[in-house]
Structure formats: structure tokens, C-alpha cells
Structure 1
């Protein structure tokens, strides 16, 4: 037998240097270096100058450690959004920034001091602040490199830092706007306070953890009851889980609508048949000496609904099989408690403790827990403070900043700390003294509940009344004289009245002051929420509820590292100075010397000749860092893009509804009468592969830097785009394996197109009108994809975006179009119209898909682009593809989509019918199969055979019949055709191509 020629060299196989194996970890740094050398970000700004601008304002992370998965997820999502908007032709700058002040950094410096057994308070403040600045600078540089390694494109050479002098000056300027408009006051109110960090905390700096606390029931003897003399000598019982507040008690509160009763005690047995009297006589052992024995002759007052649960608490510890019974003796309407007076259990100490404790009506008193009577410590609770203040009772500031009682406090002076578990335990000094005073009815260390902690120190916090600076939520602003910084950073004093009513109030006024000529900060903020786009929409309700119910904003902190509250308070009047000229000098001083200028300056020179320094107190508190970051819109967005400019979008995690989203909203609402953003996108948190919160102690932390090192940043970027980031998302080995698989498929799509387009030039292009229907159908699908991707990008739904892109590449191209047309690509003559049409469409697909992929797979898209166009600019300089097609849904395509959808279903049925023969090895490939089908999808038999990649197709009866072909196989294209006489000979087409 004559050996058949080898025709492999005559087949036009794809040729490309683009490797199947990505090797991203090694390639990506080189691509980053190329971008840096080309100055891509700067070139984009120049190219897009004058275009519609899209500003995504970066929320500042703290500069205090390596980035974690939450950072990576957030920054990648932002970068995908910015790149997609740039792709759509917009000028989309991105200015990264960092929060550099406050406790996260100060705490780290203090930790270093503690390790060296040094006292921070003994270090000169200027030296301490310099260490904080150096620490922040170090981590800014570290995080900058890590964010860039993720492929995040931005103005990394000129990021914003809250510790830059111009930023600190701008923050002071924003503070003074509040001061000038009267939206600032100093008052003593209970605030969340960290005894460990010795400062007030914002709500966003607090997290809640489950704890087990000591619960106690304490009796206050009633000394006077004008409306119910029979209550004199009875005891009002209160329940609390904060025993340390009893030494600061000043009143008792009852619920006006709560039903109370007067109860007597009896001790009984839970043994069936035992009588109360017999147990009473049995007073032996622990029972006889138990403190409750004295209460057998006394009576207490409490809410009827809580008598049973209180009796159960009192029963603890009275002896085995013993329990306390509360017998209701009389009804006590709440009106009888009005005007009543009790005395403190420690009244014998005299002084503060000898003062009468009045009964005050409180709407907040309920019968959910406790006794229905609440002890009031105005120093340590907001309800307590407001009720006592309304009745002329002032705080006493008994607890110091470190959680210790004042040295001169009559009871437990100099002792504490009040968050120390042993100090407040049932056998601690507070309970011991109350027990000895005969006032402790019950105490146990077993109450489980949620309790606030500082999210930095992880220590418990307390509510503590201290003098602080507040921005009121419900006070109206007044017109002010505006002190601003001009575009060159110079101080500009001009007459610009603050008119908060400029906000469009589109809804009915549900908060007092809204829609008035001078609405409140709360009203402005709520209207701004209503007129802002929230993604997802449900997040609107969350921030609305938070703003609607939040207290006044405490903006002062008793720390060293931060922007000063640069105010002068008149010693005689207590009011702060409001003078535009003084403010201008203050801002200029901070602009020249930073925050340190406030502490090192000659304050008389700032006050000028019109004021005497001796008449004024210089405020030394610093600003809440949330005020710093809430002001960034002023010194980043407006400073760079013009006064009045606001961001198109803010993007952060869902925790920022009470953090940056809210502080920015309140700051801008108070100074500009509107939100600083048009839209807000909220994403969830990154959890481990099983859905648990990542924790070093659990050992389940997924490190983004390790993923980049092992797999490359594009894998991480594709994961971010592919998950439903509006909710909490999972990441782990299995999740990343799925992402890597999806990436490989998309990469291979690009590899195939690069190879298939080898040598393609414009001269080979074929007009759409001359193309086969299959090519026109694919172009219609591309137009549909184009519209869907643009819609997904504009709605920030990149999980839908990447899913549509990968599905198109895998299902419409690789598994369908490429599969069908590989025969034409490999075997048709180069000038064959079908092959030219196919390669023309491939070129269109390439230019579209590489652009679509670029926002997500920024490195891979660049590698793809440079492989085909090594001398060209970056792929990220390109714009959204312009397709010379109408969208199929608008084109009147005479049912093209519907027709080919049916053809694809028929093709799938043919493949399914062939599979049993393939499994049984009757046929090795579909090319050996001949089919008879009732429906050929309105195609000719030849075209249907080509679509199904079979030897032949014949119209027939119902269903699909498959047989093995008897025709011989072409030695070049491997198709089984009637003109091939012997296996291995050439078919007519291949004969023409090979021999001319």
C-alpha cells in the first residue's frame, strides 16, 4: 500500500506566542513597570481632558499595617469601576488616600512605648506626634505598593493624606464653618468612652461582643411618699448589669404607664407538701444567716409584670430546695410614686450619698427586664442624663478617664477600674459594701448579653459624662461668613452666606425643621439620603434609620495625634470666638505648619490686636477622625476639581453606613446643604471559605498578598468581580480554584483568537453584508453582549458583567462558533469568503473582548493586547468598542436570534444523540456520524451538517437517527466526504487549496 502524504504543514493552524500557562505572578510586576514608564495614568488624564468626568472618591483606609482581604476587595472593586468608566470614554480620575490621624496609629506608638516600659505622657507632645507621623508615612508607602500590585491605577504620586498640612488646614476650615454658623456647642453629656484609650469614641469605633456580666438587685428605702404614706419604709428595688454606676446614682425612675405593686417576702420550699411556716421555723445553716432573712419583715415596690422573674433571681443562693416567694400586698399606681423620695443605700457616708433620691417619671422605663424601676446615674446614660437634667440634677463626674473613681469620692474613691470584672463581681467591693449595708437582694455573675467594646483595644467601653464638643443634629444653623482656601491653597476670606435651605426638600417634612427656611442638620441629611442613589437600594433604609435616630455628633477627642479643635472660648461667657479674620490667621498657620502650629504658636498673634489671650481658653482637644475623613470631599474633590464639585460615587463596606458615608454626609450637609456624593455603593465583607469571619486566632485568614504571590492579582480581581459583593462573600481554596478555572477558559479564548488572527490585515476584511448568516448571528450576539455589559457597568453589577462575558466566551464562542468554524479556519483557502468572514468577525470579537476584559483582568488584557500589538499604547488607553451594528433587539432582523436559538437547540440534540455511539466506540468523533433529522432548522442539509460537525445530514422522520458513515476521510480536513475515494486522499476543497 502506498503511504499517504502528510498534509499537516498545509493546514492553517493558529500561531501565537501567547502562552496557555498564565504565569501571572511573574509577569504582572513587569507590566506594572511598563505602565509606570509610560505614565499611563497621566496620559489618560491628558487624553480624557474635557470629557464627561466620573469621580469615584476614595474612602481612606488607616495607614497602620499590611493590607487584608477587605482592603483588597474594596480597592479592586473601585479600580474595576474606574477603569470601566474610563473605557466608556469618561475622564475618570482616581485619587487614593489615607486616614493618618487618630487612635489606630496613636495606639501602635503607645504599644511600642509600653514594650519599652515608657510612659507616653512623659514624652514631649511634639515628639510623640512626630513619631505618629513617621509611623503613618511608613505604612502609607507599604500599602501604596501593595495596592499598586493589585493593579489599582490612580494618582499614586500625589495621594491625599489627612496629615498633609493643606489637608489639616482644610479640616480646620471645615470645623470653623460649623462654628461660624452656630452648629457647634460644648456640653457635658454621656458619650462612649474608652477607659483604656482614655478618650471619647464615635459609634463607628465601637463593636459589640457577647459578654457575661454581674447582675444585681439593689433596694432603695423610701423616705417620703406624699401620695402614698403607706410606702414610707418600703424599698424600691432596681436591677442593673453595671454595678459600678450605683456609686453615682442620683435618682430613681418609674414608668408612668407601668403597673406597680407592694410585695412582701416569704421563703418556701419547692418540695411538694412543705408549708411556708415550717420552712420559716427551720432557719438553720446558710438559710438562717442569709442576708435575705432580714427581708422577711420588709416590703418592696416593683412592677407587677416582673415579680415572678425577680423572685427567681432572689431565690439564687438561699439554700438547697429553697426559694423566695413575693406576695402581693397592695396595688401601687404609678401616680403614687410621683413626688416620692428614697435614700441611697450608702447614705451613712454622708455628703453626696446623704442627698435625697427623687422618683422621676421616665417614658423609657419598660417591663422587658429588671424590676420596672430604674436607677438614674446622669453621668453614665443618655436617658439618665436627659431626665435628670430636666429635673435640675447635674452630673458629678465621679469616674475619671481611666475608669477609676475620683480620689475624693466618698465611696470607693481612687478604686476601679469600673470595667474590671473582679471589681464589679458579686464578691467585689461594690457588692460587698451593698451587702453589708443590707441593700443587696441578689447578685450573680451569670448575665449574658451584648456589650460595646473599642474595636481597637478590644476593651469594654463605658458611657461617661465629660465636657465634649458636639455638632447638634436638631439645631438650626445661622448665616455665617465663610473662610475658605482658594485653588492655590491660600486663605480666602469672603462674604458667602451659608444657606442650608438650598437643598431640594422633595419629601414631606417628617423631622422638625425640614423644608423650613433654615432646616436642621438631621433634616438636610435625611433629604440628601432621599435624593442620593443607593446601591443596593436596600442600603438606603439602613442609613436613613441611623441618621434619623442618631444623637448629636461628638467630635472631640482627648488625644494628641490629630487635627486640633482650633477654637478660643471666652472665659467669661463660655462662648467660642467667631471672627473671620482670626479664623483666617488660624487656617494660614495650620497651612504653614500643620496641626503642630496650634500647639506651638503664639496664640496672641492669632487672636490679633482686638482680643486678649488672657480672656480666652485655648481648646486642646483634637477632632474625631471621622470628621477628618468626612471632610475629604472638601480638600480632595473640590480642591482638585473645583468648588461645588461632588463625587459621582462613594464605595465602601456596609459598616460605613455608620462611619464614612455618614460622617461625610453630615459634614457636607452642615456646610453645603447637600450630600457630597451622587451615589453610594455598599459591599459586604470577605469571609473564609466556610462563611466564617476571618480571625488570626481561628487561623482562617486568607492573605491577599499570598494569593498575588502564588496566583497573580488577576485571579483575585476576577474573584472580586464574580462574587455577589453586595452581600458578604466567601474566599478560600475551593472558591479560588473555581475562579482560576474560569480565568483559564477566558485566557484560552484570547489565545485561540490571537492564533487564529495570525497575519490578519485590513485587506482581508469582508463587509458584514457579504458574510454568512452564522457570522451575522454572532455579531448580533456581540451587540447584545455589548449592551448588557454597558448596562451592568453603569449599574456597578460586575458579577453580572463578568458572568456574561465568560458565558459568551465559553458558550457562544468556544463551544459553538469557534468549534464550527475551525474547519474553515484550518482548511479553507486564505482568500475564501467564508474564512475571510470568520477572521473578520474574530478581529471584531478580539477588539471588543479585550476591551471588555480590561477593567477586570487588567494585566491579562494588557498581555493580550501587547501580544498582538507590541508597539501600541496600553489597552487601558482604549475606549469602549464601536460596533458597526444595530442592537438585534432594535434591528428588525427577521427572527435571526430566534432562528439560531432553535438551530443551537437542534445541534445540542444531535450531539446528545451521537454520544451513546461515542461511548460504545462505534464512532470516535462526530465527523464519523451521519444523521437523519426531522428538523434541520431551516438550513440546507450541507449547512446543517457543518453546524453539527457531522459527515452528513438528511431530512427524515420524527426524531434524530445516527449511523456511522461509510464515506472515506479526507487526509487533510478529516471530513468524511463522497468524493474521497480512499481514506487519506484529499477532498475537492483540500485538493484545490493544496495544489491550486
Structure 2
């Protein structure tokens, strides 16, 4: 630059913004949270009138610990659903809730007692329940603040709690509907039982882990005078402790069985030469191998057809044992059953109907339950004290490890010659998800809701039984993903009656009375009286469920119409899944911010809730209202580490939300959620989060550029689309396309698609294309129509991007918004309406060709820049050869030198020379590099022939005019 040439830097319209590139989210986000509370964003949104309600009903997390990454994923997805629907014109309501009753909390209080040497059973039950309530209250407060820190919007001032007095009243009322409609009954059947926790468990409370178990092959001798008398039928089991409760053996009617004889034995063997056995032919060889017999040490004597087996009975291996006192002397039933397999074992199955549902169902169908049910195992997993040989032994020890019962049974079987072989096996086994201890199947009196009995409440539009209603309603619900429908449907088809009772103290009691001396099958066994129910419910509303446990409660609730001495008060508590399954009643139906019909627009939880909350909510709702409590069910997967492993403290691969927030901020965690396909399992870890943060920075840079570009923008600058250059109209077309994509994506809860489209738009359409091209006009033009049009489009982009992205990046988009509008909040806005007229498919098709050609030119210029022939693209004036005439014509109708950011360009249809640059993916466009001719404009840096010929020294015509 010549000495006399002025410095024109201050004459440029450079972007103006204080928006920092470094976000500093961990420190700054709490300030926005405080601001939202101060201005009451959630309540102000509720004041918007004439909007269609949209309600997401919160599946209540459990109030007993800090949040884990799964909580963060779950609540963030919910928040995106709520916020996006609000901004699409709904009155989008979200009432957060907590599950407060149940064993995990009770377990914590018991642990505190054990550390102090106290016995829970010696504590007044109301005092104990109050301690549980206080514990839950403390964790509700902790979790509420942790959820709010994630940027979750909702009615935090008035959440729902299952332990609130009104909630406890409604839960009792909902239970009473089962009592009154005839589906409630008391039955004695095998249920999953936790000996450590001394209570029944639902399927949803069980998880499966590998466990090493004893496995034994046990001999049952054939009784009678037949040719098979004395031969041994052998069963295989992984639960030796169930042998004392054996009542039968079953076989498969369609399998091939044979009589086998031992012809030789190794040194260490429990078999004798000449001993005879009956096996399924397919399994005989491998069974003898378990007893260490080799080929040649046994032979098949003959086949044994199923009709020959049918007439036999068997002796229990402990029959006649000295000291058994006749406990096992009765012959064991022997019959065919359809659940026998010849894929493993021996072809025979040992039946202890008190400890297995298939055996229980078989003998219930035969009307023989009284003959086969035993009560040998107590609630703590110990054998009854008077059971010969085994009384006082335990299946599990107090901490859930192996007890002494299995060894005692095995040792006794060895002693009496009842064992063929033994070993150990590692297999998947049910465990309580709370105590992590193994569970057992145990026959015990429980309360059930019959799901195949006609409900008889007159609400039969979807079926007469609970199961029929549930199956019908499943197909009236929209499932995301659709596989959720299939999973719940198959579960509902096969599920047994619903076990409602738990043998614990902290929960809503089963508010019913049974008649003393009556059998559960007697019609007057259960007291069904609406007046009694009403007294209970009124007390619960005023005092909570503790009223059930107060002295004189039975007399108070029965009133003067009944003699309290004639009735037993039930003290079991309801399964917590019944509590949470009832929440639609006291949240959706009863609250002013609920729904008119008591149905939620959406339930959204993890995939495990197909057997949990989705399941119990459907059962409870169809049982009391005849229909489902939800219209949409959305399911997310589990969180895994970066290698795809399940997270666990023992592996040290857990990611705590609080740690992510402290390092990156909540918006980075939210962005991770938005970028994942939440319908499958998601991975998270340091490297993944680093990648998310990098993408965030690119997006933040786009928003920073926008803020600078629209600085001091005034409505007087606005240009109507019809008066804009083609480039601006093309960008508006893309905005209109995106508007549909964003709305459709948010409506179907597909945040990954929404974010990908917006991110690509910001980085490819804007930063790498439109912003790059229009930077020159924004900085260097005077008050031109082109610059005003660009600023108008930038303003349009600002309003759409900030609102479209705000359900995901709640803090960052608020920061961006406040940079322009300090008194408002982006979260009080709706998505702007986008005119359909902005769409112009013909224009879009043309500009697709322009962009394609641009890629070829910029690639050619990059080669020159890398080779240091040029330092910047403005030093170039390439010759672009275009093969297709219509493409050439399209390029000529644009200021193509501006599109490719060069000082000049020559477009030609002439054939390209051999040395021309070719980009393989852009066929038909080739580039010959030429340097721009002329001088460099000291204001815009374009190299043009006219520079230096104008009023202002060292400027081109455009810059001279801008300077005036």
C-alpha cells in the first residue's frame, strides 16, 4: 500500500458482538437457571391462552440416591419433548414426580438400624414409616436440584410424590376398585421371593446375573410289580434345595425313552453294576458320562413307550430314610407334561409345585394342588424347623451368598444312595435389583389381580378382562420405536395374574379386611363395603396411609356396622408398581394441570419399563378405567461406556452427570443426548464427550457470526423475499424446507434427526457457503439492496435457529437470545411461522447445480493455495469450462465470482484443456487456474483493473461508492 493510501479498516461494516467464543458453561449456566426462576418462565408459558394442551406424564424416579447418567438421558429426552411441543404452539405441561414407597428406602433404614444394633421388628411401625418418609423427602430435594441443573423445565414447585397424602388416598381407592369389581383374590402360588428382603418381587424388580449353582442328578425308583419296578428314573436340577419339596416327576409323551443297565463302573462312582435306569434315548449317553461311565459300561436293554410309563409311580429318594418320620414315604406322581424337553437333562423333570410355576399350573389344571403344595421354606429362605434332616438350614445366608441348605440336601442324598452324579453350573439366574441377592420361587399366600376374569365394571369397550383390554389398547397406542409394541404385547399375552402384595412396611397398605374362619374361595371372605372404603379414604386424605397402622384403626374403619373381632385387617403393602401405575389417577385426573380425560399424550422411559411402568400403568388403568393411560409411548435404551460395556462401579466405567457438568456444562450433556439414537443403547465416555464439545464449538461459532451480522439490525432494513437476490431466496427456500423437517422431527420425538439437519445446515449451508459468500457484501457494501437483503435473511436465520435449537441447547440459545434481546427469554418464544411461498423448487434445483460447480472451483483453488501459488482465493480469476449448456447458463445468471470468492471468473462452454483441474465427483465442470489482473483494493482486497481510478485512493468502484 502506498504511503498516501488511507487505512480503510474503520470504514468496514465489521461484525459487532460481545458473544464469547469460550462458552464457560459450567460457571455461567447456574445464572440462567436463577434468571428463569426469577421471571417464572414455566408459569408464564401456562398463561398463554387458546393453546392445545400437551402433557408428558413423568415416570417417577426412585428417591434414594444421586442421579446417574441414565437419569440424565431420560429427563433430557423428556425436556426436549416438552419444550419442542410448547414452541410448536401447545400448552406443554410437565409435572415431575417421585416414587417414594418401597423396599429400597425401607432397606436403607434397616441398614441404619443394623449398624446401631437395633431390630426393626421392635420399632413402632408408624415411627419406622416416618423415618422412611423423611429419608425419601431428603432425596427428593437433592434430586430436584440435580434435575434442574440439567436445564429441565417443569412444575418443580409442585411435583407429585407417591407418598403425598392425596396420592396415598388415590392409590388406596384404585386398589379398592379391584376389590369391588371382583378381580382381587388371595391365592397361594409360587412367586419370586427374596429371602434376604423377606418379600415377594415382581418381574420388573428382578435382574439376571450369572450365578454358579450346584447341579445334581437324582434317582427316583419305580414302584410296583411291573417289569420296570426297581429301575431308576433320574431327574436333573440346579436347585437341590427343592428336592425335599418334590411331589412328582413328569416326562414328555412324544419322546423316545429306553431302559438302560450299568455293565461296568469306574473306581469312584455312585452306580452299581446291574443297576437299571430309564432315560430319554437322546440324553442317555451324556447322562451316564456325568456319572463318569464310559461307552461300554452301560447298555440299552429295550425301549420304553410312553403308555408303559403312564401307569407307574415313583419313590422319593428319601422315602424310608431313618429319622425321616415318614415325611417322604408317599408315592410320587408320574405323568406326561408339555413343558418337558429332550434338549438337556435326562428327559424327566422333577416337580415341586410350591417352587415352580409350570408345575403349579399343571397341578392346578388337574385339581390336585392340595396334594402337591408344600410349605417347607420360610420367608427368610430357611427350611421349617421341624423338617427332618434340613430344618434350620438356609438356602442363602443373610447377605445373599450360598447358604447351607443345598449342601445338606446333597449330603443326605449321597448318604441314602439317591444321587447318580453332581456338579456345578454357571448360568443366568434371577436376582433382586435392590439387594443384588439371588431370589427363589416360593409358594406363599399373596394377593392377586385376576387378569383373565371378567371385570364386571361396565367399561368393556376394549374387552371384558384385564388381559383382553390391555391387548386391545396396546394397538391403539403409538409406539416409538414400534418394537416396543411387540415387546409389551408378548409380555401381556403370557403374563400370569398380577401379584399386588408385598410383605413390607413402607408403602400403601392393601386396604381390605378378611372374614375370620372363611376360606379365600368363600364368597364372603373379603369385605366389600363402599362406606368402609370411604372412611379409609377420608382418613388417608387427612393423615396419610399411616392411619391404617394407628391403634384402633380396624374399629375406626369398620364402624358400628361390623364387629371388629370377626375380621382380620390385611397389613401387606401394595407392590410399588401399583403405586406408580396409579399415578395417572392422581396426576392426570386430579390435578388442575392434568388432562381433561385423564390420559397423557406421552409416556417416555427406558426399555426396561415394558415390564415395569408401561406395563403396570396399562394393567392398572384398564382394570379401573377400561382404557390405556397414554396415547404415545417412547422408549430409550441403556447407557454404555465407549467400548459398549454396561456401566458399573466395579468396572470403574461409570460417568456421573455432575462430573460432565463440572467439566463441560449441562448443554454438552444435552447435546450428547440429541446426537444419539436414543431408541438403541447409547455410548458415552471422555472421547465421545470431547467430540460432542468440538461439534458444539462449531455450532457456537455459527451463532456468534449471526449475532455479529445482525448487530443493530432495524426493521426498516427489511427486504421482502420477492425483492431479494437469488442467493437469499435460495437460503429462504432451505429455511422453509428445514421448518418442515424440524417440526416433523420434534413431533415424532426424533431429536437426532432434527439436530443432524440443523447442524449440517449451520456448518454446510451457512458457515461454509452462505456466510462465506456474503461476508464480503456485509463488510464492504454500503447501504445496498444486496446488503439489506442479506441482513434480513440473517435476522430470519437468527430467530429460527435460536428457537429451533433451544429445546436441545437450553442454556446456549438463551445466551444467544439475550445477547440481542436482554429483557426476554428464548423459552417464551414459539417457532416462527414460515411462509410456504418461500419454497421454490426450481430455484433450489438451479442452486444445487451452482453449488456443485462451486465445489469443483474451490477444490482447484485449494491446490494452488497449498502449492503457495496464491495466498487467498481473491488472487484468482479462474476459467471454468462447463460442458452442459443449461448449467453454463445457470452460472452466468449469478455473480459466480462472488459465489467462488474470487476477484473475477470466466465461464465458457469450450472444451477444457487436458491440464485443467477435474474433481471426479463433479463431472462436466473443469477449471483452469489464472491469476486475477489489476491492483488489490485496499478496502475489500479484491484484485480488479479499476482499482486506483476512483475518488478514494486504492479502491475499487464498489468501495469508492460505499465511502461516498
In structure 1, the partner of 2:33 is: 32
- Counterparts of residues 899-910 of structure 1 (less than 5 Å): 899-910=846-857
In structure 2, the partner of 1:280 is: none
Q: Distance in 1 between matches of 2:595 and 2:703?
A: 42
Q: 1:356 aligns with which of 328, 331, 350?
A: 331
CA distance 1:825–1:642, change in 2 (3 Å) = closer
Q: TM-score, normalised by structure 2?
A: 0.94
In structure 2, the partner of 1:307 is: 284
In structure 1, the partner of 2:18 is: 17
Q: Distance in 1 between matches of 2:494 and 2:123?
A: 41
In structure 1, the partner of 2:355 is: 380
- Check whether the contact 1:88–1:879 (CA below 8 A) recurs between aligned residues: yes
TM superposition shift of 1:809: 0.8
Q: 1:838 aligns with which of 779, 790, 796?
A: 790
CA distance 1:155–1:801, change in 2 (3 Å) = same
TM superposition shift of 1:233: 1.6
Segment drifting more, 604-613 vs 896-905? 604-613
In structure 2, the partner of 1:430 is: 409
CA distance 1:937–1:704, change in 2 (3 Å) = farther
Q: Distance in 1 between matches of 2:737 and 2:596?
A: 40
Q: Distance in 2 between matches of 1:234 and 1:756?
A: 94
In structure 2, the partner of 1:346 is: 318
Deviation per CA, 1:173-230, whole angstroms, max 9, x where unpaired? 11011111111110000000001111000001101112221111111112226xxx11
CA distance 1:525–1:429, change in 2 (3 Å) = same
TM superposition shift of 1:980: 0.8
Segment drifting more, 743-752 vs 409-418? 409-418
In structure 2, the partner of 1:988 is: 957
In structure 1, the partner of 2:154 is: 154
* 4+ runs deviating over 6 angstroms: none
Q: Distance in 2 between matches of 1:131 and 1:795?
A: 43
- Check whether the contact 1:922–1:964 (CA below 8 A) recurs between aligned residues: no
Q: Distance in 1 between matches of 2:367 and 2:250?
A: 12
For the pair 1:409 / 2:383, whether they are aligned, the reply is no
3-state DSSP of counterpart to 1:16: coil
Deviation per CA, 1:223-261, whole angstroms, max 9, x where unpaired? 226xxx111122211111100000111111122222222
- Counterparts of residues 315-334 of structure 1 (less than 5 Å): 315=292, 325-334=297-306
TM superposition shift of 1:672: 1.0
3-state DSSP of counterpart to 1:442: strand
- Check whether the contact 1:64–1:105 (CA below 8 A) recurs between aligned residues: yes
TM superposition shift of 1:608: 2.1
In structure 1, the partner of 2:458 is: 499
For the pair 1:524 / 2:521, whether they are aligned, the reply is no
- Check whether the contact 1:590–1:597 (CA below 8 A) recurs between aligned residues: yes
TM superposition shift of 1:547: 0.8
- Check whether the contact 1:194–1:454 (CA below 8 A) recurs between aligned residues: yes
- Counterparts of residues 490-569 of structure 1 (less than 5 Å): 498-503=457-462, 514=463, 519-569=464-514
- Check whether the contact 1:345–1:434 (CA below 8 A) recurs between aligned residues: yes
- Check whether the contact 1:105–1:135 (CA below 8 A) recurs between aligned residues: yes
RMSD: 1.7
TM superposition shift of 1:689: 1.4
For the pair 1:589 / 2:539, whether they are aligned, the reply is yes
Segment drifting more, 143-152 vs 3-12? 3-12
- Check whether the contact 1:310–1:370 (CA below 8 A) recurs between aligned residues: yes
3-state DSSP of counterpart to 2:227: helix
- Check whether the contact 2:878–2:930 (CA below 8 A) recurs between aligned residues: yes
In structure 1, the partner of 2:623 is: 670
Q: Distance in 2 between matches of 1:211 and 1:960?
A: 69
- Check whether the contact 1:972–1:984 (CA below 8 A) recurs between aligned residues: no
Q: 2:750 aligns with which of 797, 802, 805?
A: 797
Q: Distance in 1 between matches of 2:651 and 2:803?
A: 41
- Check whether the contact 1:970–1:987 (CA below 8 A) recurs between aligned residues: yes
Q: TM-score, normalised by structure 1?
A: 0.91
For the pair 1:87 / 2:100, whether they are aligned, the reply is no
In structure 2, the partner of 1:465 is: 443
Q: Distance in 1 between matches of 2:402 and 2:827?
A: 62
- Counterparts of residues 953-992 of structure 1 (less than 5 Å): 953-956=905-908, 957=910, 958=912, 959-981=926-948, 985-992=954-961
TM superposition shift of 1:418: 4.9
In structure 1, the partner of 2:434 is: 456
- Check whether the contact 2:395–2:402 (CA below 8 A) recurs between aligned residues: no
In structure 2, the partner of 1:576 is: 526
- Check whether the contact 2:393–2:405 (CA below 8 A) recurs between aligned residues: no
- Check whether the contact 2:352–2:372 (CA below 8 A) recurs between aligned residues: no
Q: Distance in 2 between matches of 1:710 and 1:422?
A: 44
3-state DSSP of counterpart to 2:895: helix
Q: Distance in 2 between matches of 1:780 and 1:501?
A: 51
Q: Distance in 2 between matches of 1:476 and 1:715?
A: 52
Aligned length: 925
- Check whether the contact 1:475–1:520 (CA below 8 A) recurs between aligned residues: yes
In structure 1, the partner of 2:270 is: 291
Deviation per CA, 1:880-939, whole angstroms, max 9, x where unpaired? 111234362xxxx36101100010010110001111111111111110011111234523
3-state DSSP of counterpart to 1:964: coil
TM superposition shift of 1:604: 1.8
- Counterparts of residues 831-870 of structure 1 (less than 5 Å): 831-870=783-822
Q: Distance in 1 between matches of 2:853 and 2:232?
A: 87
- Check whether the contact 1:247–1:411 (CA below 8 A) recurs between aligned residues: no
Q: Distance in 2 between matches of 1:53 and 1:761?
A: 35
Q: Distance in 1 between matches of 2:336 and 2:863?
A: 84
TM superposition shift of 1:145: 0.1
CA distance 1:946–1:810, change in 2 (3 Å) = same
- Check whether the contact 1:403–1:417 (CA below 8 A) recurs between aligned residues: yes
CA distance 1:887–1:679, change in 2 (3 Å) = farther
CA distance 1:301–1:868, change in 2 (3 Å) = same
3-state DSSP of counterpart to 1:952: coil
- Counterparts of residues 224-303 of structure 1 (less than 5 Å): 224=224, 229-267=226-264, 286-287=267-268, 290-292=269-271, 295-303=272-280
Q: 2:611 aligns with which of 658, 663, 669?
A: 658
TM superposition shift of 1:2: 2.9
Q: Distance in 2 between matches of 1:2 and 1:96?
A: 69
Deviation per CA, 1:539-560, whole angstroms, max 9, x where unpaired? 2111111111111111100001
TM superposition shift of 1:770: 1.0
TM superposition shift of 1:361: 2.2
TM superposition shift of 1:989: 1.6
Q: 2:879 aligns with which of 929, 932, 935?
A: 932
Mark the runs of 5 or more structure 1 residues left unpaired by the alignment.
Answer: 270-285, 479-497, 504-513
TM superposition shift of 1:769: 1.2
3-state DSSP of counterpart to 2:930: strand
- Check whether the contact 1:500–1:524 (CA below 8 A) recurs between aligned residues: no
Q: Distance in 2 between matches of 1:307 and 1:78?
A: 57
TM superposition shift of 1:329: 1.2
TM superposition shift of 1:77: 0.5
- Check whether the contact 1:264–1:299 (CA below 8 A) recurs between aligned residues: yes
- Check whether the contact 1:244–1:424 (CA below 8 A) recurs between aligned residues: no
Q: Distance in 2 between matches of 1:529 and 1:984?
A: 78
TM superposition shift of 1:602: 2.6
In structure 1, the partner of 2:885 is: none
Mark the runs of 5 or more structure 2 residues left unpaired by the alignment.
Answer: 883-887, 913-925
In structure 2, the partner of 1:277 is: none
Q: Distance in 1 between matches of 2:504 and 2:907?
A: 86
- Check whether the contact 1:262–1:300 (CA below 8 A) recurs between aligned residues: yes
In structure 2, the partner of 1:621 is: 572
CA distance 1:326–1:984, change in 2 (3 Å) = farther
3-state DSSP of counterpart to 1:726: coil
Q: Distance in 2 between matches of 1:613 and 1:394?
A: 35
